[in-house]
Amino acid sequence: MSYVDEVIASVIEKNPAEPEFIQAVKEVLETIRPVVDANEEKYRKLAILERLTNPDRQIKFRVSWVDDAGQVQVNTGYRVQFNNAIGPYKGGLRFHPSVHMGIIKFLGFEQIFKNSLTTLPIGGAKGGSDFDPKGKSDREVMAFCQSFMNELYKYVGADIDVPAGDIGVGGREVGYLFGHFKRLTNSYEGWITGKGLSYGGSLVRTQATGYGLLYLTEELLKYNGIELAGKTCLVSGSGNVATYAMEKATQLGAKVLTCSDSNGWVYDPDGIDVEAIKEIKEVNRARLTEYKKYRPNSEYHEGRGVWGVKADIALPCATQNDIQLEDAKALVANGILAVCEGANMPTTLEATEYLMANGIIVAPSKAANAGGVATSALEMSQNSERLSWSAEEVDAKLQGIMKNITKAIVEASDKYGMHGNYVAGANIAGFEKVVDAMLAQGVV
C-alpha cells in the first residue's frame, strides 16, 4: 500500500465520527500524491503525513451561561491548534448548532494549507461552539462570549494563537470576546482579528474574504482567457463572505442573480441589491423573506435552489457541502464556466470530480477564500507596529496576495502535469511550504 493510502486508511479508522475531517484529508492527500510519492521513503520515516493529520492540540470545554429568562444554558467550546510550523496558530471561530469536533478539525486542517498559500507567517487552527447566536439578545450573546473566553484565554495570545470570525461570529461577537480577554489578562494585545476600527481592527478586513474571492476569480478566469465583466453569478449565503463577494462582483461588472440563507433563496433578474442585503442581514439581523420589500421584481423561494439557475459563475459562500453531485450536474447542464469557492469545502468530493471532468474551472476554497485570513495577518502586522494602514494600502496588498495565490496554484498544477487542476495546485503549493518548515524543525 502506498504511504498516502496507508495514512488515509488510518485517518478513516481513527476518526469514524468525523466525516467532514475525513473528506478534507482525502481531498488533500489524494492530490498531493505526486509530491509524496517522489519522497515516499523519507516522508514515511519522518511520519510527515501522520504528523500533519494529527492536530498539535485539541481543546474541548464546557461553556455555561445564563439566558434572559434566568435559565442556565450549557454549550461546548472547541479550539483545535493544528499545525504551527510556519507561524502562530491562526483561524476563525464558528458559532453554529452544527459544530462538533469533526467540523472544527476539518476547518483547522484546511486552514494549514490556506494560511501557507497566503505566504504570510501563520499556522493553522480553528475553534467555535455549538452555540447559536440567532435569535439571542445582545446580552445573551455577551454572556456566552464571556463564558467562552473564561476558558479560551488560557490557550491564545498574539504569538501563540490568534482567532477571528467565521459563521456566526462577526463584529459584535469579536468585540465581546476582545473585551473579556482584555479584562482577564490585563493586556491589550492583538490576540484576535476582525476587531472594530476603534480598537485595533484593520480597514478592509470586513470585506476581505468576499473581495479576495472576486480578485482571485477575475485573475483565474483571465488565465483561462475569460473576462469576468458581463458575466452572471450565482451566490449562496447572505452573510459576511456572500455580501462582500456580491459587492465586488457587481463593482467588477458582473451581475449577481441569487443569494440564500438557511431558510430559502432569492432570485433577482435585475441583479441583487447589495445595500438591501446589508440592511436586512447586518442591521436588522432578519431573514431573506424581507428582500421582496426592497425589490418587488425579485422572487423568494423556500428551501434550496440556487444551483438550478442558469448563470456563468457559481460562488458558494454559505457552508460546507452546499454543492452536491446533483447540483453539479445541474450547473454543468446549464453551461456554468467556473465554480469559485468562498465558503470552506462547499463542494463534495463527487461534485468536484464531476465539475472538473466536465472542464469546469474549480477555484478551491483554501485558495479562493484566503483573502480573509490574509487580511487578518495584515491586521496582526498593524497591531504589532501600533499603526493602522489606509484602506487603499490594505486593499492593494490584498489584491497582490490574491494574484500571487492564483499564480502559485496555476504553476503548481502545471509543474506536476495536472494543467487546470487548481484543487491539486492549491494543495501542493500549500503543502510544499509547510513540509519544508516541518523538515527543518526536526521531530516536534
Could you tell which of ligand NDP, ligand 2IT, none binds residue 193, using a CB distance below 5 to 8 A set by kind? ligand 2IT
| Three-state secondary structure call for residue 26 | helix
Choose between 8 and 272: whose C-beta lies nearer to ligand NDP. Answer: 272
227-246 footprint of ligand NDP as x/- string (CB under 6 A) = ----------xxxxxx----
* Shortest distance, position 114 Cβ to ligand 2IT, whole Å: 6
Site string for ligand NDP, 194-233 (x = CB under 6 A): ---------------x------------------------
**β-sheet bridge partners, residue 434:** none
Minimum Å gap between C-beta 263 and ligand NDP is 6
Under the criterion CB under 6 A, does residue 166 sit at the interface with ligand NDP?
yes
Are 271 and 256 contacting, i.e. CB atoms less than 8 angstroms apart? yes
Q: Which does 90 bind (CB under 5 to 8 A by kind): ligand 2IT, ligand NDP, none?
A: ligand 2IT
Q: Which residue is nearest to ligand 2IT (CB)?
A: 92
Q: Judge residue 38's burial from the number of C-beta atoms within 10 Å of its C-beta, 0-12 exposed, 13-18 middle, 19 or more buried.
A: exposed
Instruction: Establish how many alpha carbons lie within 13 A of residue 415's alpha carbon, considering only the half-sphere containing its beta carbon.
Output: 16
202 binds, among ligand NDP, ligand 2IT, none (CB under 5 to 8 A by kind): none
- Which of 25, 141, 192, 317 touches ligand NDP by CB under 6 A? 317
Cα separation, 355 vs 46, whole angstroms: 36
| Active-site annotation, residues | 126
384 binds, among ligand 2IT, ligand NDP, none (CB under 5 to 8 A by kind): none
Beta bridge partners of 144: none
Q: How near is the Cβ of 182 to ligand NDP at its closest, in Å?
A: 22
Task: Give the CB-nearest residue to ligand NDP.
Answer: 239
C-alpha cell at 323: 454543492
Own/partner pairs for 324-333, CB < 8 Å, 24+ apart? Answer: 324/348, 324/350, 324/351, 325/350, 325/351, 325/354, 327/351, 328/352, 328/354, 328/355, 329/354, 331/307, 331/355, 331/360, 332/358, 332/360
Neighbours of 310 (CB within 10 A): 13
Residue type, 439: L
163 binds ligand NDP (CB under 6 A): no
Q: Are 218 and 252 in contact (CB under 8 A)?
A: yes
**Between residues 7 and 133, which has the closer beta carbon with respect to ligand 2IT?**
133
The DSSP symbol for 287 reads -
For position 342 contacting ligand NDP by CB under 6 A, the verdict is: yes
Shortest approach of ligand 2IT to residue 92 CB, angstroms? Answer: 3
Identity of the residue, 114 or 180, whose beta carbon is nearer to ligand 2IT in the bound complex = 114
292 grid coordinates: 421582496
344 binds ligand NDP (CB under 6 A): yes
What residue ranges bind ligand 2IT (CB under 6 A)?
90-92, 114, 164, 166, 193, 344, 372-373, 376
Nearest CA-CA partner of 147 in 57, 195, 90, 75: 75
CB of 91 to ligand 2IT, least distance (A): 5
CA distance linking residue 202 with residue 182, whole number of Å: 18
CB 161 to ligand NDP: min, Å: 17
Give the interface with ligand NDP as residue ranges (CB under 6 A): 165-168, 170, 209, 237-242, 261-263, 317-319, 342-344, 369, 372
